[in-house]
Structure 1
Amino acid sequence: MAKKYDESTVQTLDALEHIRLRSGMYIGRLGDGSNPDDGIYIMLKEVIDNSIDEFIMNHGDEVDVLVDFDEGKISVRDYGRGIPLGKVIECVSQINTGAKYNDDVFQFSVGLNGVGTKAVNALSQHFFVKSHRGGQFFQAEFNKGKLIQEKKGKTSEADGTLVEFIPDKEIFKKYRFEKEFIEKRMWHYAYLNSGLKLKFNGEIIFSNNGLLDLLNEEVRESEQLYEPLHYRGKFLEFTFLHTQSYGETFFSFVNGQYTADGGTHLSAFKEGLLKGVNEFSKKNFQGMDVREGMVGCVLVKVKEPIFESQTKNKLGNTEIRGPIVQEVKEAVVNLLYKYPEIAKKIIERIVFNEKLRKELAAVKKEAKEKQKKISFKIPKLRDCKYHLGDSSSKGSESMIFLTEGDSASASIVASRDPLTQAVFSLRGKPLNVFGMKLDQLYKNEEMYNVMSALNIEDDLSNLRYQKVILATDADVDGMHIRNLLITFFLTYFEGLVMNGHLYVLETPLFKVRNREKTFYCYSEEERDKAIKTLKKGVEITRFKGLGEISPNEFKQFISKDIKLIPVTVRNFSDIRPTLEFYMGKNTPERKSFIMENLINEEKLL
C-alpha cells in the first residue's frame, strides 16, 4: 500500500537540523577516524581554516591545537582579530553569516564562506567558542547546535578566538582521532603558509621555505636527480624535480586546501611547464616525456574558488587557466636559464624518457593488437555506468573491485550497484613487478588489462574510478595477491596511491548466529563478543574466501556500510625502501624480521 502524501508529510527543517540530517552534504563521509578524509578531520579543518584566514590577512602568526585523544576533544586557539563580540553567536550558529562575503576583509579565504563552523557546531555534542577582542571577551557554549549559555566580560588575554568541540557520538558513533593524520594536516598548513607557527599538543610545526620544504620532505636527497626548482609569486607557487621512479606525482593546493584530484590549476601548471621547457630547449617534447619521473607541488590563490564538491578535492575555475599557463611558462624559462646545470639534467632526463617511450612503442603496439584479437572489450571487466570525470555527480561515487578469481567476482557482480561499481577479475597471482622495467607493463597481459581498465596509461588524470579497491581473500594467498597489486601500483603509478585512490576491502571473517539473530564479525574479538551475546544455540561460520559469501550477504558489505582501509604512504621516499625490504630479493634482514614476528599458533591454542 502506498504511503500517504499530503500536507502533513511535508517537513521544513531549519539550517542546523538540515546539517544534522544530511551531514554528508557538508562534511562528506562520516567514517570512524581511520581515514584522513573522515568527517571528524573535516570538522577540525574547518575550525583551523578560520585561523589560517586570519594569518593570510596578516593578523596573528600562531595557532595552538590541542587534541585529547581519549575524550575526542579538539581545542584551537588563534591570535588574530577575534570574532566581533556582538556577532559571536551568529557566526557559529547561523548559516550564511560571516565576514568572508566581504572581499575587503578576507581576500583568499580557505573556509566555507559561512558554513564550516556552523556545521561543526551542529555536529558536536559539545561546542565552545570564546572571542578575545580589545580587552573584552564573549563566550558561548552549544550542544548539537543549540545555545546552552553565554557570558561576556573583561579579559587580559591577547586578541583571538578559541574554539573547542567534541563530535557528537549519536552521529559519528564510534570514532577516534589518529595523531598521524592530524600531524600531516598540520605540516601541510605550515608548508602552505610560510612563517606560520603551529603548536600541536606542544610540538612546534613551522616552515620557512613553503612548498620547497614539502617537496624535500617527500623526496629524500638521495632520490633527487637534481635540487628542486622553486618559484613563488603573489598568487602562484610551485616546485618540482625528477626522480628515478616511473610515473608522475603532484601535490596541488588551492588557498591552502589540498586538492587530491587536481583540477584546472594542476592541468594549467602541466601545460605551462611543457611550454616553458620547450621554449628553453627549442624542442618539441611531449608532456608525458617531460613529466615522467617527476614529483612536484603547486599552490594557487583564487579569490572565488569553485570546487566540484563540498570536500573540495578538485578545482573547477576555468578562467584561471590562461594566466597560470603563462606565469608558469615564464617562470620555468627563467629558472632554467638561471640554473644551467640543473637545466642540463632536466633535458637529459626528458631525452631519456622520450627514447624509452619510443622503444616501448613496438611493445605497446603488440600488446594492443593482442588485446584486439581477444576482444574489443577489456577481458574480465564488468564495468559500471558512471565514471570519475563524468558530468554526473555519480562519477565521484564510482569504484572498481580488483578480485582474485571468478568465484569471488561472481559474488560481487551479483550484489554490486551497476551504476557506480565495476569489477575486474584477476587470473591467479599477479607478477611481482618490483625492480622490473616499464616494458613489463605491456608484456604482461594481466597488468596491461588492469592499466587499461583504469585508463591510466597516458595520464593519471584519466582515472575512471574514484576508488580502486583490492578485494582478496583473508588468507595467506589473498594477502600475497594484495601485496603484489600494491607493489604494481607503487612501482608504475605511485601517484594513484599518493592521492588516496587505493583501498583494501574489509570483509567479515566470521558469521555468528542463532535462530533469532546474526552477527558478522571482522575479528576474533568481535566473534567472541557475539558468542557471549547470543549465549545459546550458537552457530559459527568461518569465511575462508570471498566466494563463500552469498550475493545476498555480500551486498551489505559493499553498500553504504562498506568497510575500506586506505593504502597510505607517509612520504614519497618511503616507497622504494619499503618495496625493497618486502618485495625485493630475499635478504637476511627480511628473514630475521619474519622470524621475530612469526606467530606460534600452538601457543594460541
Structure 2
Amino acid sequence: MNEAEKELKILQDNYQEENIVTLEWKEHIRRRPGMYIGKLGDGSSADDGIYVLLKEVLDNSIDEFMTGFGKTIDVVIENDTVMVQDHGRGVPLGKVKDVCSKMNTGAKYDSKSFKRSVGLNGVGIKAVNALSSSFSMVSTRDGQSKTVTFSQGTLLSDGELEPSNNSSGTRVEFTPDRAIFGDYHYRDEHIEPLLKNYVFLNIGLTINFNGKNYSSKNGLEDLLNENLTSEELYPIIHLFGEDIEVAITHTNQYGEEYYSFVNGQHTTQGGTHLAAFREATARVIKEFYDRNYEFSDIRNGIVAAISVKVEEPVFESQTKTKLGSKDMEPNGVTINKYINDFLKRDLDNYLHKNPDTAEILQKKIQDSEKERKAIAGVTKLARERAKKANLHNKKLRDCRIHYNDPKGDQRDQTAIFITEGDSASGSITKSRDPNLQAVFSLRGKPLNCFGLTKKIVYENEEFNLLQAALNIEENMDGLRYNKVIIATDADTDGMHIRLLLLTFFLQFFPDLIKKGHVYIFQTPLFRVRNKKKTIYCYSEEERINAIDELGPNPEITRFKGLGEISPDEFRNFIGEDIRLDKVTMKKEDLLKELLEFYMGKNTPERQAFIIDNLVVEEDVVA
C-alpha cells in the first residue's frame, strides 16, 4: 500500500457513525464564533466582536423604539461589563429564557410585531449569551418582572415572577468571555460613533452612555456634518420619504464618500440599496441638467448618506454589513425602482426650487469633467504602463490572498507594507507571510503632491504604480489590502516620508484613511538581551524596564533603521506581535486647511501634522 492509499484508508476509518457530532446551540456558537459575529479582536478595531455583541443587544432596543415604544436607552460599560436598559414593552415574561437560549426564537418572525427590524434570525442575543462569561436579562411589564442568568450559554437561574414598581422595559447585562476574546477592552472612541449613528437614524431617540446623552434633531444631515472633513460646496440636501431618508452634498475632495443604512443598521459594505442610490443620484442629476455628463463627473466629490427601511431584509452575513435584498418588501416594489422614483421626484424638485445649489453643483460637475478630459491622454498611458508593470512589477512583492476577494476568509488580515529603499523592503519581504502580506518599495522620498491635481497621480510613475497596486483608481470597492502600512525609519527622514505619503492619501484618496485602512508601522528602537532572554523595546521607558528585568550588564543594541534588522529578527515584529498606529481623522479637521498649512511653506511645522491633527490609536494589534 503506497502513501496515498494509506492516507485514504485513514480518512475512511475516521469517517464512521461515531464521528458524526451534534453540537448544542451554545457549543456551536463558541466553537465557530466567526459565523455569528465576524472576527474576534481585542477591542482595538471598531469591527471587533465585542462591539458586535453590544450592537446585537442595542438592535433589539432600537427595534422597540422604531415600533413606537421607549424613547430612551441607557448604556453603561464599566470594567468591560455592559448594561443596556431600554424602556420598551419588555420581553413577554413567559418567554424570557427562550429568547436568550433557544435558536430561531423571537418576535421578529411575526411582521405584525416588528415590520422593519434589523434582527430577523433569532440568533443575535443567543450569540451574546453563549460568548459571555456572565449574562442576565431582566424583563419588566404589567407590574411584574422576570430575571434569567447564564454563564457561557448555560442556564444558572430561571427566576420566578416578582412584583415590580419599575416601568416596562428590558435590561441586558453581559461580560464577554475572555476565554473567547482574550485580553480585550471596550474603547469609547469605537462606541461613540456607533451610538451617534443610532440617534442620527432615529430622530427623537436619546441614548445615555455612561452619563452622556446622545440625540439628534436633524437625522442624516447631522450625520454628514459630523463626518465632513472637507467644506461643503452647497448646503446639505436633506430629503425624507415614507421608508427612505437621504442627505447629499459635494466637496472639493476626490472620490465618493457614502454612509448607508438599512433599518438602522450601518451597512459598511453597502449592498443593493447603495448601488441603487449611486446610480439613481447620478441619473437624476444628469437628466435635470439635460447634459451628457459622465456619472463619474457627477459623483466626484460627493458625500452622501442613505437610510432605507426594508421589510424582512436579507443580509449577506449575520453581522449585517451588506444588504442583499432586491425588494423593499415581500412581493413589493424593487429597491432600485423605489429609490429611483423617490429621487426622481424629490431631488429633481429640490434642484428646481434651489437654483443657487443647482448652479454650484453644475460648476462642480463641469470642473470635474474639465480635469478628467485634460488628463485623459496621460491617464490612458499611465494605465497601460501600470498594467505592464503589474506583470513583473519590481516595486511590488504581492501576496496570494487579497481584501477584495469576497470568499477569502482571511481577507481582513491582508496588508501591504510601503517601505523606503531596497534594504528595508528586502528584510520585510524575506520575513513576511507571503499569503497575506505584500511589500511595495519606494525609491526614496515621494513627491510632495500638495496643491497638485490628480494628473500627477498618473504622471508620477511611483504614485501611479502605488495606486495600481492598491487598486483604488475608480473607488474603494476594489481595495486589495485591508491594512496599508507605512513602514519607514523612526527618524526625521522617515517622518518626512510618512507625511508625504499621508498627503498623497489625504489629497486623492481620503476615504482610505476615513475607513481606517492606513497605519504607521512601529519598529523597535532597542534590543536588550542576555543569554536567556531577548526583549525588543519601542521607547526609552521600555528599554529601562527591560534592563531592570534582565539584570546587570545586558547587551543593548540601538536600531537606526529598518535595514539594520535582519530578516530572522523581523519575523518577531510583523506577525502576531506587530505594533501598528492607526491613522484616523478628527471630524473638525478640514483637509484643505490642514494640507495648506502643514504641507505648504511652513515646513518646520510638518511634524506637528501627525501629532496635532491626526489621531493615532496606539498599540493596535493586527
* Same fold at TM > 0.5: yes
Could you tell me which residue of structure 2 aligns to residue 168 of structure 1? 177
What is the Cα deviation at residue 419 of structure 1?
3.7
Q: 1:306 to 1:522 in 2, by over 3 A?
A: farther
The answer to whether structure 1 residue 62 and structure 2 residue 72 are counterparts is: yes
Structure 1 range deviating more: 232-241 or 139-148: 139-148
Q: 1:519 to 1:149 in 2, by over 3 A?
A: farther
Q: 1:37 to 1:579 in 2, by over 3 A?
A: farther
Could you tell me which residue of structure 1 aligns to residue 251 of structure 2? 243
Could you tell me which residue of structure 2 aligns to residue 302 of structure 1? 310
Could you tell me which residue of structure 2 aligns to residue 356 of structure 1? 371
Paired residue for 1:17, among 24, 27, 33? 27
Q: For residues 112 and 417 of structure 1, what CA distance do their matches in structure 2 show?
A: 39
What is the Cα deviation at residue 77 of structure 1?
0.8
Secondary structure of 2:585's aligned partner:
coil
The answer to whether structure 1 residue 229 and structure 2 residue 237 are counterparts is: yes
Could you tell me which residue of structure 1 aligns to residue 283 of structure 2? 275
The answer to whether structure 1 residue 492 and structure 2 residue 508 are counterparts is: yes
Structure 1 range deviating more: 586-595 or 30-39: 586-595
Identity of aligned residues (%): 51
Q: For residues 572 and 315 of structure 2, what CA distance do their matches in structure 1 show?
A: 31
Secondary structure of 1:251's aligned partner:
strand
The answer to whether structure 1 residue 381 and structure 2 residue 390 are counterparts is: no
Structure 1 range deviating more: 551-560 or 489-498: 551-560
Query: In the alignment, residue 428 of structure 2 is paired with which amino acid?
Result: I
Could you tell me whether the CA contact under 8 Å between 2:402 and 2:408 is conserved in 1?
Answer: no
Q: 1:544 to 1:150 in 2, by over 3 A?
A: farther
Could you tell me which residue of structure 2 aligns to residue 601 of structure 1? none
Q: For residues 98 and 66 of structure 2, what CA distance do their matches in structure 1 show?
A: 23
The answer to whether structure 1 residue 422 and structure 2 residue 438 are counterparts is: yes
1:56-455 mapped onto 2 (5 Å cutoff): 56-68=66-78, 71-111=79-119, 113-151=121-159, 152-219=161-228, 223-319=231-327, 320-368=335-383, 377-394=392-409, 396-397=411-412, 398-455=414-471
Q: 1:105 to 1:546 in 2, by over 3 A?
A: farther
Secondary structure of 1:473's aligned partner:
coil
What is the Cα deviation at residue 136 of structure 1?
0.6
Please list every run of 5 or more consecutive structure 2 residues that lacks an aligned counterpart in the other structure.
Answer: 1-5, 328-334, 613-622
Structure 1 range deviating more: 269-278 or 158-167: 158-167
Could you tell me whether the CA contact under 8 Å between 1:379 and 1:449 is conserved in 2?
Answer: no
Q: For residues 529 and 26 of structure 2, what CA distance do their matches in structure 1 show?
A: 40
Q: 1:134 to 1:325 in 2, by over 3 A?
A: same
1:468-487 mapped onto 2 (5 Å cutoff): 468-487=484-503
Could you tell me whether the CA contact under 8 Å between 2:598 and 2:609 is conserved in 1?
Answer: no
* Deviation by residue 1:188-230 (Cα, 9 ceiling, x = unmatched): 111011111111222221112210111123337x922111111
* Deviation by residue 1:46-70 (Cα, 9 ceiling, x = unmatched): 11111111111111111111222xx
Could you tell me which residue of structure 1 aligns to residue 618 of structure 2? none
Could you tell me which residue of structure 1 aligns to residue 60 of structure 2? 50
* Deviation by residue 1:14-66 (Cα, 9 ceiling, x = unmatched): 22233333333332333332222222222211111111111111111111112
Q: For residues 510 and 95 of structure 1, what CA distance do their matches in structure 2 show?
A: 52
Paired residue for 2:477, among 455, 458, 461? 461
Query: In the alignment, residue 261 of structure 2 is paired with which amino acid?
Result: F
What is the Cα deviation at residue 272 of structure 1?
0.2
Q: For residues 20 and 566 of structure 2, what CA distance do their matches in structure 1 show?
A: 40
Secondary structure of 2:463's aligned partner:
helix
Query: In the alignment, residue 323 of structure 1 is paired with which amino acid?
Result: Y
* Deviation by residue 1:300-358 (Cα, 9 ceiling, x = unmatched): 22334343444333333345334334433443222212222211211111111111111
Paired residue for 2:591, among 575, 583, 592? 575
- The root-mean-square deviation of aligned C-alpha atoms, in Å, is 3.2
What is the Cα deviation at residue 146 of structure 1?
2.5
Structure 1 range deviating more: 265-274 or 454-463: 454-463
Query: In the alignment, residue 28 of structure 1 is paired with which amino acid?
Result: G
What is the Cα deviation at residue 108 of structure 1?
2.1
Could you tell me whether the CA contact under 8 Å between 2:41 and 2:49 is conserved in 1?
Answer: yes
What is the Cα deviation at residue 119 of structure 1?
2.0
What is the Cα deviation at residue 557 of structure 1?
4.2
Could you tell me which residue of structure 2 aligns to residue 599 of structure 1? none
TM-score where L is the length of structure 1: 0.88
Could you tell me whether the CA contact under 8 Å between 1:402 and 1:471 is conserved in 2?
Answer: yes
Query: In the alignment, residue 210 of structure 1 is paired with which amino acid?
Result: G
Could you tell me whether the CA contact under 8 Å between 1:506 and 1:563 is conserved in 2?
Answer: yes
Query: In the alignment, residue 575 of structure 1 is paired with which amino acid?
Result: L
Could you tell me whether the CA contact under 8 Å between 2:107 and 2:113 is conserved in 1?
Answer: yes
Could you tell me whether the CA contact under 8 Å between 1:35 and 1:565 is conserved in 2?
Answer: no
What is the Cα deviation at residue 494 of structure 1?
0.9
* Deviation by residue 1:421-469 (Cα, 9 ceiling, x = unmatched): 3322122122222222222222222111111112222223232333323
Query: In the alignment, residue 103 of structure 1 is paired with which amino acid?
Result: S
* Deviation by residue 1:572-604 (Cα, 9 ceiling, x = unmatched): 7543344344433218987999999xxxxxxxx
Could you tell me whether the CA contact under 8 Å between 1:381 and 1:422 is conserved in 2?
Answer: yes
* Deviation by residue 1:361-400 (Cα, 9 ceiling, x = unmatched): 1332453465578675545122233434434234733432
Could you tell me which residue of structure 1 aligns to residue 616 of structure 2? none
Could you tell me whether the CA contact under 8 Å between 1:514 and 1:536 is conserved in 2?
Answer: no
Q: 1:10 to 1:474 in 2, by over 3 A?
A: farther
Q: 1:592 to 1:88 in 2, by over 3 A?
A: closer
What is the Cα deviation at residue 418 of structure 1?
3.5
Q: For residues 556 and 10 of structure 1, what CA distance do their matches in structure 2 show?
A: 40
Q: 1:427 to 1:66 in 2, by over 3 A?
A: same
Query: In the alignment, residue 201 of structure 2 is paired with which amino acid?
Result: L
Query: In the alignment, residue 75 of structure 1 is paired with which amino acid?
Result: M
Could you tell me which residue of structure 1 aligns to residue 3 of structure 2? none
Could you tell me which residue of structure 1 aligns to residue 36 of structure 2? 26
Please list every run of 5 or more consecutive structure 1 residues that lacks an aligned counterpart in the other structure.
Answer: 597-605
Could you tell me whether the CA contact under 8 Å between 1:394 and 1:420 is conserved in 2?
Answer: no
Secondary structure of 1:567's aligned partner:
strand
Q: For residues 256 and 432 of structure 2, what CA distance do their matches in structure 1 show?
A: 32
Structure 1 range deviating more: 416-425 or 504-513: 504-513
